[in-house]
Amino acid sequence: MGLTRRVIMNVQKTALYDYHKNLGAKFVPFAGYEMPIQYKDGIVKEHISTRTHAGFFDVSHMGQFFLEGDDTLTVALEKIIPADLKSLKINHLKYSFLLNNEGGIIDDLIITKTEKGFCVILNAACKENDIKQISQLLTKNHKYLLNNDLSLIALQGPKSVEILEKLISGVKNLKFMTGSHFKHEGENIYITRSGYTGEDGFEISISNKKVEKFIDYLTLNKVKPIGLGARDTLRLEAGLCLYGHDLNEQINPVEANLKWAIAKKRKEAGGFNGWEKIKSLLANGSEKIRVGIKPDGKVIARENTKIYSSDNNEIGFVTSGTFGPSVNAPVAMGYVKSEFSGIGTSIQLEVRGKKYGGKISELPFYKKSYVK
């Protein structure tokens, strides 16, 4: 995987590492962690299990970053996050970003308003840099903690609510992108109705000491373990971005086709990193934009595949591509020059030196099933 000896020696493991081994997981290094990519059933069966029943993901490698402070904390965070944090209600979540001075995406994230401040879920590979960027804006009146004593489990799929409600009463009352505290096994845990698969589901923040018993309950209810492989196919079918592939610091939210994630009030008032540039792009459009792509036939256009127009001019590149088990066809996302972004536009994809046909497609490829 191109990892140095130093990184391999310092690879981290989640609290469930041994549990994954006992379930027959195959591991790969990912974002500095040894993570399961698949289990005995394989990626396609894991994917279908999540779509038809329920699957659980160990996402404890991601950062659970807690911030506390007075109103000045909100002001500080809004300099780097373009969400309307002032209006965000307690126990409500927003998908947003950390932005650099040019409006480029340092990381995409989920931010939750808590009783004392905020909890931010950070991507594993970015969390150290994210914390550095955020902490530069804070003062002595603000407290922050990356809590490594907590595991984070995503339970996803149509049977998720039925299964979790039997164990933890009241979770069925949560709406999409809201959360609450619940009592479980003598401790206070936090659950949000959220996820990154396009399915209804939950993310459960639970202590490392209690997480194995919680997973025991899920497996007894025929919830399959899901690795990084199926997590990738699920999120791509749902048209969701993966940081470091579809997003990076050279791409801004307008180019990423994520302008909906910038609060209307913030678009007008500004006050966040890169606002002037983003304001101009919102008014005038961007040169390139993220699109969905459906290759013709069975060819899979993977990351870095070059995209050409029908008259053979290079117009972009693929950032994510795989076979979508739920749609029974190859799917991809990438960036093209905006004039070629119309739905149904014919394109060519260069795979292993040969060009294949395809079309610009609507996103998502698979209809999302969130409970609102």
- pLDDT for residue 8 is more than 80: no
% of the chain residues with pLDDT over 90: 95
- pLDDT for residue 247 is more than 60: yes
The pLDDT-based confidence of 244 (bands split at 50, 70, 90) is very high
Four-CA torsion 211, 37, 21, 190, nearest 10 degrees: 0
Domain limits, the chain: 5-58+149-237, 287-361
112 forms bridges with which residues in the sheet? 93, 119
Whether the domain at 5-58+149-237 and the domain at 287-361 fall into the same CATH topology: no
Please write the tens of the pLDDT for every residue from 126-139.
999 999 999 999 99
Cα–Cα distance, 364 to 235 (Å, whole number): 9
Closest CA to 76 of 142, 144, 132, 145: 142
Give me 78's structure tokens.
Answer: 């809004």
Closest CA to 296 of 336, 351, 356, 237: 356
- Residue 19 main-chain phi, psi, to 5 deg: -60, -45
Please write the tens of the pLDDT for every residue from 286-296.
999 999 999 99
Please write the tens of the pLDDT for every residue from 166-194.
999 999 999 999 999 999 999 999 999 99
The pLDDT-based confidence of 90 (bands split at 50, 70, 90) is very high
- Third-level CATH fold of 5-58+149-237: Gyrase A; domain 2 (3.30.1360)
The per-residue pLDDT for 344 is: 98
The pLDDT of 52-78, averaged and rounded, is 97
User: What homologous superfamily is domain 287-361 in, according to CATH?
Assistant: Aminomethyltransferase beta-barrel domains (2.40.30.110)
Angle 281-286-290 from CA coordinates, rounded to 5°: 120
The per-residue pLDDT for 7 is: 39
